Each structure stands twice: as C-alpha cells, then as structure tokens.
C-alpha cells in the first residue's frame, strides 16, 4: 500500500519544513515508523528528518536523476515504513524552468502518485485563501492536492474563516492550522546547525512542535488520506545495483562533522561497481586508510573547523603524495577547499589547507552560487572521457582564485546562455564546487572504479 503524503506549498518560506517536521514527530509519537524524503538537491532538511525519524532521509530529484531512479529510491527506502512523508521544495510547480514542471515537486508527486497537502500563508486573508488553493488545484489537471494547511493565522477564529472558504470553494479539507507565534521558531537551516541537531540540542524544539501539531492538526484525517494510495510500480531490473561479489578497490571517504554531504546513491553506485568504502575523519586528525586506491572528499563546511583541519599535517602530506602518485581523487565543494592552498574566513584569518592545488579560497558573507548544474568534462578524467555530461548542484558561500596554468575540469552554460568554466583537473584529481549526482550518468561510478583499479595495479607492481 505504501502510505505516503507529500507536503508542498505555495512558495519557499511558507512553512513546509515546520509542518513536515511537526508531522514526522507527531506520527513518530504514535509509534509509527516514519520514512522521510526531500524533493530536490538538499542536504540540510534531510538531517532534520533523520533526527526525528531515526532513519536516513533520501533526496528525490527528477532533474538530476531519472523517473525510474526516483521510483526505485522511494520503493526501496519505504518498504519497511508505516508512513512516508515527502517534503517538497520551493513552490509546488517550481523547478528547473518557469515554462515547465521539470524538476518540480509537482512532477515528483505525479511520478509517485502521491497525495499532497498544500501549505498556504493566510496572513491578512479570508475568502482569498480559497483563491490561492483554487489556483494551485487548477494550474495542472493532474494535481493531487487532497488537503490544505493554513499557516500564519492571526487567531483560531481567523483560521476558521479561511477554512470555511477553502472547503466551500475547493471541496477539499483543511487538515490543520498554525497561528503566528504558537510554534517554536525553526532554527536557521545553516550548515553549522547539523552537529547541534545530532547532539540533541534541539530536542525541546522538536517536542514542542509535535505537541502543537498534534493539537491543531487532524492526524487521523491525514493518515486516512495517506493510506488512499496504490503501490508505486517500478522496473526492478532497470538498473542492476547488486554489489560486486568481491571488492575490486578501496576508496577512502572523508566523513565527519566537516565533510558529510554525499548523495547516498553515489556511495551505492560505487559499491555496486566494486568499491569498498572506508571512512576516515580529517577533523579528528585521521589520515588516509592504509591501502586505499582512491579518495572521495565530499562537501560540508570546513570553514567551521578550519583551525582544527589545518593542524592535520599528516593528511595534507598524504594527499599531496597521493596526487603526485596519480591516485584517483574526487573532491566536491568542501573537499575542493580542503585540497587548496589556503582558506580565508570572513574575519580575515587565513588557514593553510592541503596544498594539492595552488588555489586560495575566501569565505563570503553572502551566497556565492546556487542552482542546478549540467556540466561537461573539458578533458578526459577519472570520471569519463572528454565530453562526459553530468548533472549536480552548486551551493556555497566561498569563492576561489584561479591560477594561471590551472585547467578547469567542467564547463556549463549559465541561465543566460553564457559558457562558464570551473573546478580543477590535474592528472588523476578532479575537484570543483559541483555536488555531482552519479545517477545522472551511472557509468561514472564504473569509470572511477576502473581508474582506481589501474592505480592499484600500478601500486602493486611498484611494491613488487
């Protein structure tokens, strides 16, 4: 049956995350096994989901991956859950382009045939609340909006006025409401929040939120809407993700509070291609694991721990040697920074980094880049031949210096059609700000493992 409900909204900031977390916590208190999903390229909101549900949350993205991949991810990850709660992104119809539904929450709701609850801001509204809902119902005939959640109500009476209007004109129930100020303020979803979440510093916030949701939402009605679903059908054999019977190579994966932004699917694809993943913590002073044949330095926020990271001289030396020996290394965003010569924080303090590249990174007070990226490799790399097309996303507050003689690894077109280059490539090193999603081109995992195999063979021959 796969009970599921998708929480969407009219726009960003309307309260989707607050509602999603509150519902997750409220249903978890009913001893239901809740599985979280997040639409779009987001690493932070899934961390909130995990803290509440005690289960890993997964991204669903129809632009970076295929429809079949979205279906398989949902089916596999929800099969032992009582209820799946999917958090949308931006507005219901917002995606890659204003002229289509590509990459939108609406598209994901169609692929998963999921009932949706629409969150709207009713501040200053009464009957007009029905007009908002009506517009979202009718923009696309296939919209499965089965209920409405009212946010920013001035009072219980105000919420009732809007509820009556919506139910009269839109013929769907209002399943709950939130008044201004009656829920705890959602902590700013910044990168540095994640360790505090995992250490339990926001348990009281989550508990208070669940109490409010339980009082002001009809959980039984929401459950009833969630179970009126049919199983998602998918082609179980479209992509063989069975792990190799034996590991061909060992890839070291940086994983700690400073580096932990990885698409789970990337790691799965590497394992299926024959990689044994060995995790290590740069932040705790750990070096590369013995006998590794490749290194994966994911995203995160090294700026929060720049001083501690700068003291790990042994790792820096190992990374320089690995690059000189042509060990395959992939670095994304935070990992890209780690490979640089230095990192300057917003307070002006500069810390040395690994020095694999001569690039200098500067943290900025404002967002430097955000958005989907479809990149093409400028030269042949460990990820594939020249011209390989990959998809991913970019989100960072830092900027990098490009040195004369450095070769960029990727090129892509900006929203206005101009071609831009970024990143760094040198022999076996590929580093950039782009968080690649391997499912956009699954062969990339096989190509990387193949490059690691070639390195391993060379290393063994040298030892003999």
**Residues with catalytic function:** 333
Q: Which of 161, 117, 159 is nearest to 10 (CA)?
A: 117
The secondary structure of residue 454, as a DSSP letter, is: H
Q: Which two tokens stand for residue 163?
A: 């509820």
Measured over the CA atoms of residue 329, residue 362, residue 281 and residue 265, the dihedral's sign is negative
Where would I find the H helices in 89-227? Answer: 105-111, 128-138, 156-170, 193-198, 203-216, 219-226
Helix, strand, coil: what percent of the chain each, to 5? 35, 25, 40
Using DSSP bridges, classify how beta strands 4-9 and 116-121 pair: parallel, antiparallel or unpaired. parallel
**Concatenated DSSP letters for 72-115?**
HHHHHHHTT-SEEEEE--SSTT-SS-TTS-TTSHHHHHHHTT--
Report helix, strand or coil for 453: helix
163 in helix, strand or coil? helix
Residue 329 is inside which H or E element, if any? Answer: strand 329-332
Buried b (16+ CB within 10 A) or exposed e, 140-154: beebbbbbbbbbbbe
Taking the C-alpha atoms of residue 17 and residue 183, their distance in angstroms, rounded to an integer, is 13
The DSSP code sequence of 345-363 is -TTS-EEE---SS--EEEE
Q: Are 422 and 432 in contact (CB under 8 A)?
A: yes
DSSP state at residue 319 = H
Q: Which of 127, 129, 145 is nearest to 8 (CA)?
A: 145
Are the C-beta atoms of 280 and 290 separated by less than 8 Å?
no
Contact between 337 and 361 (Cβ < 8 Å): yes
């Amino acid at each position: 049956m796969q009970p599921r409900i998708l929480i969407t909204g009219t726009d960003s900031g309307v309260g989707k995350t607050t509602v999603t977390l509150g519902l997750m916590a409220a249903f978890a208190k009913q001893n239901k096994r809740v599985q979280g999903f997040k639409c779009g390229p987001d690493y932070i909101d899934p961390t909130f989901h995990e803290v509440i549900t005690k289960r890993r949350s997964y991204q669903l993205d129809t632009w970076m991956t295929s429809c079949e991949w979205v279906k398989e991810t949902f089916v596999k990850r929800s099969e032992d859950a009582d209820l799946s709660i999917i958090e949308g992104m931006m507005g219901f119809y917002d995606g890659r382009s204003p002229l289509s539904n590509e990459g939108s929450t609406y598209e994901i709701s169609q692929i998963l045939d999921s009932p949706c609850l629409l969150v709207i801001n009713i501040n200053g509204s009464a009957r007009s609340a029905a007009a908002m809902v009506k517009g979202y119902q009718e923009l696309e005939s296939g919209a499965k909006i089965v209920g409405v959640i009212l946010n920013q109500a001035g009072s219980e009476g105000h919420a009732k006025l809007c509820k009556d209007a919506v139910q009269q004109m839109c013929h769907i129930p209002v399943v709950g409401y939130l008044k201004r100020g009656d829920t705890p303020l959602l902590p700013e979803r910044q990168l540095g929040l994640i360790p505090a979440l995992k250490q339990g510093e926001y348990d009281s916030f989550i508990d208070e939120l669940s109490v409010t949701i339980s009082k002001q939402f009809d959980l039984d009605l929401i459950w009833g809407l969630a179970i009126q679903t049919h199983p998602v059908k998918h082609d179980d054999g479209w992509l063989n993700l069975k792990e190799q019977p034996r590991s061909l190579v060992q890839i070291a994966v940086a994983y700690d509070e400073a580096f932990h932004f990885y698409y789970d699917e990337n790691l799965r694809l590497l394992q299926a291609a024959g990689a044994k993943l060995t995790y290590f913590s740069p932040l705790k002073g750990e070096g590369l694991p013995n006998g590794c044949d490749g290194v994966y330095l994911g995203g995160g926020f090294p700026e929060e721990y720049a001083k501690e990271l700068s003291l790990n001289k042994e790792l820096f030396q190992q990374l320089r040697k690995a690059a000189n020996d042509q060990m395959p290394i992939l670095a994304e965003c935070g990992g890209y920074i780690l490979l640089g010569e230095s990192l300057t924080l917003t307070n002006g303090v500069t810390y040395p980094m690994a020095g694999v590249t001569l690039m200098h990174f500067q943290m900025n007070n404002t967002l430097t880049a955000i958005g989907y990226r479809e990149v093409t490799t400028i030269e042949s790399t460990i990820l594939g031949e020249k011209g390989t097309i990959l998809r991913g996303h970019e989100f960072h507050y830092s900027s990098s210096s490009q040195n004369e003689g450095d070769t960029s690894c990727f090129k892509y077109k900006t929203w206005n059609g101009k071609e831009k280059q970024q990143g760094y490539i040198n022999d076996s090193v590929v580093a950039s700000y782009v968080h690649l999603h391997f499912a956009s081109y699954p062969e990339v995992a096989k190509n990387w493992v193949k490059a690691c195999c070639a390195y391993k063979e060379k290393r063994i021959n040298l030892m003999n």
